Amino acid sequence: MKFDQPAGINPIDRGRVIGIPHDRIDGAAKVTGTAPYAYERHDAAPNAAYGWIVGSAIAKGRIAAMDLRAAEGAPGVLGVVTHANAGKLGKGSMNTAPLLGGPQIDHYEQAVALVIADTFENARDAAKLVRIDYVADAGKYDLAAESIRGVMPPDSFGSPADSKVGDFDSGFAAAAVTVDQRYTTPDHSHAMMEPHATTAAWNGDRLTLWTSNQMIDWGVGEVAKTLGIPRANVRLVSPYIGGGFGSKLFVRADAVLAALGAKRVGRPVKVAIARHQIPNNTTHRPATIQRIRIGADKHGLIDAIGHEVWSGDLPGGGPETAAMQTRLLYRGPNRMTAHRLVTLNLPEGNAMRAPGEAVGLLALEVAMDELAEACGVDPVELRIRNDVQYDPEAGPQRPFSSRKLVECLRAGADRFGWAKRNPKPGQVRDGRWLVGMGVAAAFRNNVAMKSGARIGVDGAGRVIVETDMTDIGTGSYTIIGQTAAEMLGVTLDQVTVRLGDSRFPASAGSGGQWGANSSTAGVYAAAMALRAMLAEKAGYPADQAQFDDGLVKLGNQSQTLASLAGREGLWAEDSIDFGDLDKRYAQATFGAHFCEVGVDIDTAEIRIRRMGGAFAAGRILNPKSARSQVIGAMTMGVGAALMEALDVDTRFGFFVNHDMAEYLVPVHADIPPQDVLFIEELDDKSSPMKAKGVGELGICGAGAAVANAIYNATGIRLRDYPLTIDKLLKAQAA
Amino acid sequence: MKSFTYERATSVQAAAKAAASVQGARFIAGGTNLLDLMKLQIETPTHLIDVNHLGLDRIEETPEGGLRIGALVRNTDLAADKRVRRDYAVLSRALVAGASGQLRNKATTGGNLLQRTRCPYFYDTRMPCNKRQPGSGCGAMQGMSRSLAILGVSDACIAQHPSDMAVAMRLLDSAVDTIDANGATRSIPIADFHLLPGDTPQRETLLKPGEMITAVTLPKPIGGAHVYRKVRDRASYAFALVSVAAVFGKDGTARFAFGGIGAKPWRVAAADAAAKQGPKAVAEAALTGARTTHHNDFKKLLVERTLASLYRQQEARA
Ligand SMILES: Cc1cc2nc3c(=O)[nH]c(=O)nc-3n(C[C@H](O)[C@H](O)[C@H](O)COP(=O)(O)OP(=O)(O)OC[C@H]3O[C@@H](n4cnc5c(N)ncnc54)[C@H](O)[C@@H]3O)c2cc1C
Ligand code: SF4
């Protein structure tokens, strides 16, 4: 189905199953431990041996010699895979460094060997016996020091690295009020619960990978390319995923090495990347340095806005696109954005939940707070004044498909009690706490991706959906089931949803918050085809048939789905293919975050007291799981504001705090009650579902609201994330 | 993790004997620290002696009016004990400020005293570390040292002692009771129990090879207002940047012990003596000889501020 015109009224608008809060249909399996994850596929590969990855001890250089004898002779060892015996390997187009390193070493902890043994313990033990002589080269690990050598990177996702509208320099120079500040954000680790893990088995030249991957169709292609085998010989199965946040968008060392290991030892092999290896072996969100300049008139109306970003990656890698939202969020005739990419020999940077916006807004939305103060305008009001209903770079001919930022700001402010905020910082005391409130806008671009599905009715009238879409904890099973139920007029418990298998039609996958809208639109397309088939079988005109209560109806005639499907069942397959509506209209999701913090007057300990937000993201398919997504993302925003940081050792070129005891993410005690309001919105230009993504919107701006609240509480403006006790104390003392 | 043999000791004496006679033997209690270190091969014992079933899990009153805490009493049970909560509240508070509920259910009194540093270079076997591999250098000193110690450190090592429990025990002048292979027992004042790194950061306590902790003895209660304040990067489940254990007397006297800043649980007589002069003076006395890096120099100010906060709370109560 081609989607190139705005959606009209369609069966989804009935809203009997869609838009109603539902428990996850996979919830019981997950909480009872019966949902099998990739490393637990004893059912599928009962004979699996265990692989343990050996990671490079240097960040840059090469392997001079490897001695495998001790490892190979250790108890239970079945084989060792290295670059020397793995055969010629390709590199996935989405990987920057090879997943099996050697002789060249590209980053610390890059996999250089897989030791396979009969037990996990034997494999891990023997891995320590692999002797490697390295020749280390000098590398570059310090973003700040290297930033002068930044170059303009190629386009990312079709967007150029730089943009210019009007005359920024003159506009900024002439502005009555200006803000010109530098902000930094550190490297972040995804820190999802389930590590990267794969069980691999060969059947002749056919490979099956039970793995933990967000993007099945990409994954199939990348595995085929890396191993040099036909796509058709690769099957990926990933029905349950314990979180990904972008780190599982790409095939990683677990998958490739499990496949190579299984080949080498002639039996299935499973590999998990150990927790302490994850931060340096896999991808991370790159650190940024950002400069923001905003010029406005004395009422806060923006005349010039500029955002420059420096980030680093391995040679051949890409930038953190942190200035992208600045092209779209606020008005202003004179504009510039620029991304500069620096070569660093740290582990590979890549997407993490809301790449670009998540850290871009940590800077932009603090700069807006600074502008509000400089103009003496309330920060909520300042954002409302600078709202723009069209793409401000392209002009009024490219309006937003829907944009309810102002509604979010107003409704959110109301619910939060924003009016009680004292605009003068450092004034409000509650016992040992200095109390402050902050606001930030939330913005995340909406992306739609082609997505396919197969849908059928079996002889019992049960509806079955199959698509390679993944559920990374987000609730895809449930919204896909809801969509099928709505389209075919059955209840959710009459639908079976099967996901995450490359034998199913290729979907949008889970990434960039495009999954929910795109994959359900794909199910919509397939369901429209099935409805036509069912109507035809019933002898009803397809455009007049009604689908209710398990019946296909025309006037007062009706036939059951079961009888129409017959014993064989009836199946349809289609995909949704998006036209150029996203070119004609800017499509994005919006929101407003509010936060109240307390800062200890003596120790500078920071505690969040309340958080609230209002969000407009098109039709909310399942308000229950959408809320979970948003509060989870707000929590991650708190992490980015207050504690998350991979510490770079610029001598050895690695992330030092590479386990969960040292890389801190928020715990329950850090997170107060969180209030989430969804503003009603249907976006008929986004898809037939009229939905947009919501999985990333919640992190966008959340941390800036925290930062602004800290400023309101203390009068201290910190611009280097995370905002920790030591920085607050030093700023106070200065 | 290297292969190892395992035995369940049948008596305290037999455990100590076995530990001395088998080269590379180790006791295992809750295993929450030892097993993590074994998985990374930071520790590679050849033989484990399980001391969990020896009846060392009781808290008994001593003839002197104190408490004798068996070495295998779990952190959770110790924190919840009525007598501890009433008479040694600082200990109870320190315990619940540590780790997480699950870990405290496993963690033992003896194991907690002996837990090893959280220096990240100690945890990565590819990095230089004098404590893990004597003579290999210190990865942290010129690297990331934000969490590390500023007192009692040496040119060889600046690791912090991470325990919360031990800080309160230091404040309370506890003693560590041990038994050795010959059945000889001794009682080591906690002030002497942990060693400073000097040139031998791999040596962390006075314990001789095979010597086993049987109990920690608390002297009789000292009264006063007991507080434990732990400042860290998140609200729970993180090691201290700075912690202060304190007992305030009615007459303005007080005693203090510090965590997160020392190579061992830190206590200085001069700090107690300065109690009446207020937090600044106490901090100054406590921090005498501090040696900082540019990552952890904030700890000096944070000690003072944490003390100020405690004084403020005391005044509010008075
Ligand atoms: C993620 C994490 C967070 C943590 N956070 C904190 C925190 O915030 N604050 C804090 O204080 N602690 C914290 N801890 C540490 C925790 O308190 C210790 O791991 C625990 O107390 C160790 O006790 P155990 O009984 O498990 O010791 P084990 O691991 O069994 O043993 C530790 C050492 O003591 C030796 N040993 C044990 N018993 C005896 C004995 N009776 N005689 C002689 N030697 C003995 C062992 O041989 C071993 O060398 C944390 C731990 C983890 C994993
Ligand atoms: S501070 Fe001590 S534990 Fe840390 S690296 Fe240096 S020697 Fe090792």
Q: Is A63 on the interface with B (CB under 8 A)?
A: no
Question: pLDDT per residue over A641-687, tens digit each?
Answer: 999 999 999 999 999 999 999 999 999 999 999 999 999 999 999 99
**Ligand nearest to C-alpha B293:** 2
Residues A112, A125: Cα–Cα separation, whole Å: 16
Residues A385, A261: Cα–Cα separation, whole Å: 60
Q: Indicate whether residue B106 lines ligand 1 (CB < 6 A).
A: yes
Rg (CA), chain B: 19
B127 contacts A75? CB cut-off 8 A = no
Mean pLDDT, range A236-244, rounded to an integer: 98
Mean pLDDT, range B146-160, rounded to an integer: 98
Mean pLDDT, range A509-533, rounded to an integer: 97
Q: Is B46 on the interface with A (CB under 8 A)?
A: no
Alpha-carbon distance values, B285 to A509, A726, B270, B303, B313 (Å): 61, 21, 6, 11, 21
Question: pLDDT per residue over B10-33, tens digit each?
Answer: 999 999 999 999 999 999 999 999
Mean pLDDT, range B148-177, rounded to an integer: 98
For residue A498, what pLDDT is reported?
Answer: 98
Q: Does pLDDT of A5 surpass 90?
A: yes
CB contacts under 8 A, A 420-449 vs B, are 432
For residue B148, what pLDDT is reported?
Answer: 98
Q: Does pLDDT of B318 surpass 80?
A: no
**DSSP single-letter state for residue A129:** T
CA A214 to centroid of chain Cα atoms: 10
Mean pLDDT, range A388-405, rounded to an integer: 98
Confidence of residue A213 (pLDDT cuts 50, 70, 90): very high
Q: Which residue has the tokens 């099928």?
A: A484
A725 contacts B233? CB cut-off 8 A = yes
Q: What is the ipTM of this complex?
A: 0.97
What pTM did the predictor assign? 0.98
Q: Indicate whether residue B85 lines ligand 1 (CB < 6 A).
A: no
Question: pLDDT per residue over A597-643, tens digit each?
Answer: 999 999 999 999 999 999 999 999 999 999 999 999 999 999 999 99
Pocket mutation for ligand 2, best pick of B147, B157, B200 (most atoms within 8 Å of C-beta):
B157
Q: Does pLDDT of B96 surpass 90?
A: yes
C-alpha distance from A628 to closest chain B C-alpha (Å): 22
Of A50, A275, A601, A605, which to mutate for an interface test with B (greatest number of B Cβ within 10 Å)? A605
Q: Does pLDDT of B48 surpass 80?
A: yes
Mean pLDDT, range A492-503, rounded to an integer: 98
Residues A188, A569: Cα–Cα separation, whole Å: 49
Mean pLDDT, range B114-119, rounded to an integer: 97
Helix (H) or strand (E) holding B216: strand B212-218
Q: Return the ligand 2 atom nearest residue B130 CA.
A: 7
A602 contacts B305? CB cut-off 8 A = yes
Mean predicted lDDT score pLDDT of chain A: 97
Distance B167 CA to ligand 1 centre (A): 14
Q: Is A652 on the interface with B (CB under 8 A)?
A: yes
Q: Is A696 an active-site residue?
A: yes
B11: left (phi over 0), alpha (psi -120 to 50) or beta: beta
Mean pLDDT, range A283-300, rounded to an integer: 98
Q: Does pLDDT of B317 surpass 90?
A: no
Q: Which residue has the tokens 């803000």?
A: A179
Q: Return the ligand 1 atom nearest residue B239 CA.
A: 8
Confidence of residue A400 (pLDDT cuts 50, 70, 90): very high
Q: Which of B141, B182, B149 is nearest to B264 (CA)?
A: B149
For residue A156, what pLDDT is reported?
Answer: 81
For residue B86, what pLDDT is reported?
Answer: 98
Query: What residue owns the CA closest to ligand 2's atom 6?
Result: B138
Question: pLDDT per residue over A148-181, tens digit each?
Answer: 999 999 988 789 999 999 999 999 999 999 999 9
HSE of A715 in the Cβ direction (CA atoms, 13 Å)?
Answer: 9
Mean pLDDT, range A46-51, rounded to an integer: 97
Confidence of residue B242 (pLDDT cuts 50, 70, 90): very high
Chains A, B: CB pairs < 8 Å: 94
Q: Which residue has the tokens 């902890």?
A: A109
Q: Does pLDDT of A424 surpass 80?
A: yes
For residue B91, what pLDDT is reported?
Answer: 98
Residues A314, A146: Cα–Cα separation, whole Å: 13
Query: What residue owns the CA closest to ligand 1's atom 5?
Result: B99
Pocket mutation for ligand 1, best pick of B4, B6, B7, B27 (most atoms within 8 Å of C-beta):
B27
Confidence of residue B296 (pLDDT cuts 50, 70, 90): very high
Mean pLDDT, range A112-133, rounded to an integer: 98
B235 contacts A725? CB cut-off 8 A = no
Using DSSP bridges, classify how beta strands A433-445 and A428-430 pair: parallel, antiparallel or unpaired: antiparallel
A591-A595-A600 Cα angle (round to 5): 160
B121 contacts A656? CB cut-off 8 A = yes
Q: Does pLDDT of A734 surpass 90?
A: no
Residues A432 and A504 sit within 8 Å (Cβ to Cβ) = no
